[in-house]
Amino acid sequence: MTTVIGFIGLGHMGGPMAANLAAAGHRVRGFDLVPEALATATAAGVEATGSAREAAAGADVVITMLPAGRHVLALYQDEGLLAAARPGTLFVDCSTIDVTDARAAHAATTAAGHRALDAPVSGGVVGAEAATLTFMAGGGEAEFHEAEPLLAAMGKRAVHCGGAGAGQAAKICNNMILGISMIAVSEAFVLGESLGLSHQALYDVASTASGQCWALTANCPVPGPVPTSPANRDYRPGFAAPLMAKDLGLAANALRAGGIDAGLGLRAAEMYTAFAEGSGAAQDFSGIVHALRAAAEA
Ligand code: NAD
């Protein structure tokens, strides 16, 4: 069935996601503040509109893919997106935002007579282009099932994680595991180096023993053992360090809000922020091995 979709935020992620919805036969009415982003999406089958409100008017589903929670809340409320949509419209926010902002967006959406789903993604720009993203969704069962065919056109997997904000919660918890485990793997390589252990020997043992994890076997932070990992191409992302810093910042916000003293999660957020603001600004997050090696040698 053809769905009329208003798609707002046609950047690195939103552009190819909107294009995949159009390629699946849906009518996609898009908007972005940046004219070049709108033009690229238009060339890929998205209908250009003159404003976010215009994109939302008459849509069955409104999808947003924006930088942060403040953009989503400002667009929904101050910029009148909720007011522009017809009653009962399903709002699907795929941006990665604070859990509290996601819950506020749900509340504002339902108060305006609409329905809401938070559905952040993992898989990066490559996944957005290839329609292989994983969606983590929060909201009602009915809303999730209604969105499922659209999520299937943009990704390979969608998990319903619970009520409002549960998708964002799942995303930051997963990325907290990833961020901490990359630091653990990197510190182990630095320790191994100081003990005269080759990268390959440590990899051969840990990759088939209890140290096995994605940070080691898919995104190995040292060149050599896993030829496809970013370390073998000068740490070109991959998953960029600033995005890891952002996601761990969201995890740290949630930890503080909940009064949870998770020492490693909070420390990892600080470490990726420092790395992303310095030498890691354009690197894959696994490049943090350099910062850890430098700190060990200081
Ligand atoms: P991006 O900056 O490329 O795209 C965001 C777009 O939103 C921009 O084109 C911007 O002009 C537009 N925008 C902002 N405010 C707007 C408004 N009021 N109206 C219309 N358009 C507006 O960012 P991105 O890399 O596409 O990331 C989008 C979201 O996806 C972020 O929340 C990010 O954390 C998340 N995410 C990104 C990746 C990735 O690898 N890039 C991976 C997973 C999740």
Active site residue 246: no
Taking the C-alpha atoms of residue 80 and residue 105, their distance in angstroms, rounded to an integer, is 13
Mean pLDDT computed over every residue of the chain = 97
| C-alpha of residue 267 to centroid of ligand 1, in Å | 26
Percent of the chain scoring above 70 in pLDDT: 100
Taken in order of first residue, the domains within the chain and their CATH numbers are 4-162 (3.40.50.720), 169-297 (1.10.1040.10)
Does ligand 1 lie within 6 Å of residue 129's CB atom? no
Q: Tell me, what's the pLDDT at 2? A: 84
Q: Are 91 and 109 in contact (CB under 8 A)?
A: yes
Does ligand 1 lie within 6 Å of residue 69's CB atom? no
Taking the C-alpha atoms of residue 201 and residue 208, their distance in angstroms, rounded to an integer, is 11
Q: Tell me, what's the pLDDT at 276? A: 98
DSSP state of 34: S
Rg (CA), the chain: 20
| C-alpha of residue 223 to centroid of ligand 1, in Å | 31
**Residue among 17, 65, 219, 244 to mutate when testing ligand 1 (max atoms within 8 A of CB):** 65
Q: Tell me, what's the pLDDT at 297? A: 87
What is the CB neighbour count within 10 angstroms for residue 191? 13
Tell me what ipTM this predicted complex has. 0.99
Q: Are 231 and 288 in contact (CB under 8 A)?
A: no
The number of C-alpha atoms within 13 Å of 47 and in the hemisphere containing its C-beta is: 14
DSSP string, 211-235: T--HHHHTS-SSSSSSTTSGGGGTT
Q: Are 31 and 79 in contact (CB under 8 A)?
A: no
| C-alpha of residue 201 to centroid of ligand 1, in Å | 41
Ligand 1: nearest atom to the Cα of 122: 43
CA–CA distances in Å: residue 199 to residues 8, 16, 225, 290: 45, 37, 7, 14
pTM of the model: 0.96
Q: Which of 71, 103, 160, 171 is catalytic?
A: 171
* pLDDT above 90: residue 87: yes
| C-alpha of residue 94 to centroid of ligand 1, in Å | 9
* pLDDT above 80: residue 1: no
Percent of the chain scoring above 90 in pLDDT: 98
DSSP state of 28: E
Q: Coil, strand or helix: which one is 258?
A: coil
Q: Which residue's CA is the closest to the ligand 1 atom numbered 40?
A: 124
* pLDDT above 80: residue 189: yes
Q: Which residue's CA is the closest to the ligand 1 atom numbered 8?
A: 11
Residue 203: what residue type? Answer: Y
Ligand 1: nearest atom to the Cα of 96: 32
Residue with tokens 């999730």: 144
**pLDDT grade for 298, boundaries at 50, 70 and 90:** confident
